[in-house]
Amino acid sequence: RPAVVWFRDDLRIADNPALHAAAESGRPVICVFVWDEETPDLRSPGAASRWWLHHSLAALAESLQGIGASLTLLRGASESTMAHLLTETDAAAVFWNRRYGGVERRIDEAVKTAARDAGLEATSFGANLLFEPWTIRTGQGTAFSVYTPFWRACLAAPSPRKPGPAPRSLRAGSLPSGFGTVELDDLGLLPTHPDWAGGLREAWIPGEKAAHDQLRSFLADDLAAYKKERDVPGVDGTSRLSPRLRWGELSPHQVWHATNERRDHSTAEGASTFQAELGWREFAYHTLFEHPDIATVNIHREYDSFPWPRLHPSALRAWQKGRTGVPLVDAGMRELWTTGVMHNRVRMVTASFLIKNLLIDWRHGEQWFWDTLVDADPANNPFNWQWVAGSGADAAPYFRVFNPELQREKFDGRGDYVRRWVPEWDTGEYPEPIVDLKETRQAALAAYDAVKRSR
């Protein structure tokens, strides 16, 4: 009787505890990915993420083939599809690595209960976070709502486990004949008409192998200067590992320990700063665990009374297309559209501009990022949007409005970044801003007063 491994946000064969458990069981192994557009309220990946997922699944299938297994693709509601698979294959065990969103946890709980009721072994593993959310608690036993003490508590907790290797070989389990599998192309994850993914193809090679190459070259070339350069969008100073971590092509454990192995007197500062950024990812996930509605509901509920003016679709469109007349904002939005990512500093500036100069509800921006980022992440994206909006955990105070012109002067003084994405910027063809930065800032602060009064 086979063991089933259910892949989700962990598209790798190395340091994959669920796959490892299946290999150790000595049973034939069935590896499966379920494309679920049917479970109500389960957030489906956006268009750029689907592009990534397609290629990452292709790479995973190839890696599995290399160790004697194959990747089965199924389509349908996760709970019933998994139940059907486990029954029809007469599986003895099912293994997976945990997810932390609300709907995802409910699905996993239901599959686990049904499998155990049917006499199967059903085990889940912590694989995609350095610290499980329920292990990092305040003295009162509650979740942290402020980053600095949170990260201090993480660093005082037992160190993240060492990553494990990929299984050397597996015995592939088989499906009954006529079982309804689908081909990768049938999932329709790639754009067709029009094919807008040219920029993504140029910028990225999804998959576990490329992820390791990228980690190695970041640590060798950029770790030492990371602290200094991470905030400069015109410099390639960050790891660009976010889609790798989002899709689990790399585990945070692999990144953590590889960073430690590179630690010496010249890299120590960069290594600690970089690991603290991984800490923000942990904090975002722990916050998601506490606030499963993070993508739609303000963490600080007093922001529910924020008097958002009527939406001007043309302003939202100008922002999405990078045509606001504000150079750093336009550069960021065009980088996002072309490459599927945006530098962190510029994400903060473009988000602040949408919320506090265009006075557009953060949820519209979060949704656009969700659709266009290849690293669009169920925790990091809404967490950071709420952070900029002021409504989130340990958020920037609302009255801190980024001035996009000062930010450009400070972080892109020579204009390298802006010129790369907005070549018409200093040609005289570039338009005036669609809003007055000073006036809109005042309007945002006045609206914020309404929130304060409602407290």
Q: Are 192 and 54 in contact (CB under 8 A)?
A: no
Residue 308 is a catalytic residue: yes
Q: Which of 96, 385, 387, 421 is catalytic?
A: 385
373 sits near ligand FAD (criterion: CB under 6 A): yes
Pick the piece of the chain touching ligand FAD (CB under 6 A) from 43-51, 88-96, 204-212, 345-353: 345-353
Closest approach, Cβ 362 to ligand FAD, in A, equals 8
Residue 387 is a catalytic residue: no
Question: Rounded to an integer, what distance in angstroms lies between the CA atom of residue 30 and that of residue 220?
Answer: 37
H helix or E strand, kind and range, residue 107: helix 102-117
- Nearer to ligand FAD by Cβ, of 97 and 384: the residue is 384
- Nearer to ligand FAD by Cβ, of 326 and 388: the residue is 388
Q: Are 97 and 16 in contact (CB under 8 A)?
A: yes
381 sits near ligand FAD (criterion: CB under 6 A): yes
Pick the piece of the chain touching ligand FAD (CB under 6 A) from 209-217, 293-301, 323-331, 380-388: 380-388
- Burial class for 157, CB neighbours closer than 10 Å (0-12, 13-18, 19+): middle
Q: Among 3, 348, 393, 418, which residue sits at the site for ligand FAD (rule: CB under 6 A)?
A: 348
If we measure between CA atoms, which residue out of 358, 362, 356, 351 comes closest to residue 316? 358
Q: Which of 277, 290, 403, 425 is catalytic?
A: 277
154 sits near ligand FAD (criterion: CB under 6 A): no
Distance in angstroms between the alpha carbons of the first and the last residue of the chain: 60
Two structure tokens written together for 127: 């694989």
User: Cis peptide leading into 176, omega within 30 of 0?
Assistant: no
Residue 319 is a catalytic residue: no
Pick the piece of the chain touching ligand FAD (CB under 6 A) from 16-24, 45-53, 376-384, 442-450: 376-384
Around Cβ 25, how many Cβ atoms within 10 Å? 16
Place of tokens 């599927």: 340
If we measure between CA atoms, which residue out of 183, 191, 276 comes closest to residue 227? 276
351 sits near ligand FAD (criterion: CB under 6 A): yes
Q: Are 175 and 30 in contact (CB under 8 A)?
A: yes
Closest approach, Cβ 241 to ligand FAD, in A, equals 4
Closest approach, Cβ 172 to ligand FAD, in A, equals 33
Closest approach, Cβ 58 to ligand FAD, in A, equals 22
Closest approach, Cβ 388 to ligand FAD, in A, equals 5
Q: Which of 132, 344, 403, 425 is catalytic?
A: 344
DSSP letter for 186, please.
Answer: G
Q: Which residues pair with 95 in a beta bridge?
A: 5, 123
- Nearer to ligand FAD by Cβ, of 175 and 225: the residue is 225
Query: Which 223-282 residues touch ligand FAD, going by CB under 6 A?
Result: 230, 238-242, 245-246, 277-278, 280-281
Q: Among 69, 354, 376, 422, which residue sits at the site for ligand FAD (rule: CB under 6 A)?
A: 376
354 sits near ligand FAD (criterion: CB under 6 A): no
Residue 277 is a catalytic residue: yes
Closest approach, Cβ 271 to ligand FAD, in A, equals 12
Residue 280 is a catalytic residue: yes
Nearest-5° angle of CA 302, CA 304, CA 306? 90
Around Cβ 9, how many Cβ atoms within 10 Å? 18
Question: Rounded to an integer, what distance in angstroms lies between the CA atom of residue 358 and that of residue 405?
Answer: 15
- Nearer to ligand FAD by Cβ, of 94 and 355: the residue is 355
Q: Are 349 and 455 in contact (CB under 8 A)?
A: no
Question: Rounded to an integer, what distance in angstroms lies between the CA atom of residue 316 and that of residue 455?
Answer: 29
Pick the piece of the chain touching ligand FAD (CB under 6 A) from 187-195, 332-340, 372-380, 396-404: 372-380
By CB under 6 A, the count of residues binding ligand FAD is 27
Question: Rounded to an integer, what distance in angstroms lies between the CA atom of residue 317 and that of residue 365?
Answer: 11
Angle between helices 327-339 and 313-321 (to 10 degrees): 70
377 sits near ligand FAD (criterion: CB under 6 A): yes
Query: Which 191-230 residues touch ligand FAD, going by CB under 6 A?
Result: 230
- Nearer to ligand FAD by Cβ, of 72 and 384: the residue is 384
Residue 362 is a catalytic residue: yes
Q: Which of 6, 35, 204, 280 is catalytic?
A: 280
Q: Which of 362, 368, 387, 421 is catalytic?
A: 362
Dihedral, 261, 267, 269, 274 alpha carbons, nearest 10: -60
Map residue 345 onto helix, strand or coil. helix
Binding site residues, ligand FAD, CB under 6 A: 230, 238-242, 245-246, 277-278, 280-281, 284, 344, 347-348, 351, 369, 373, 375-377, 380-381, 384-385, 388
Catalytic residues: 277, 280, 308, 344, 362, 385
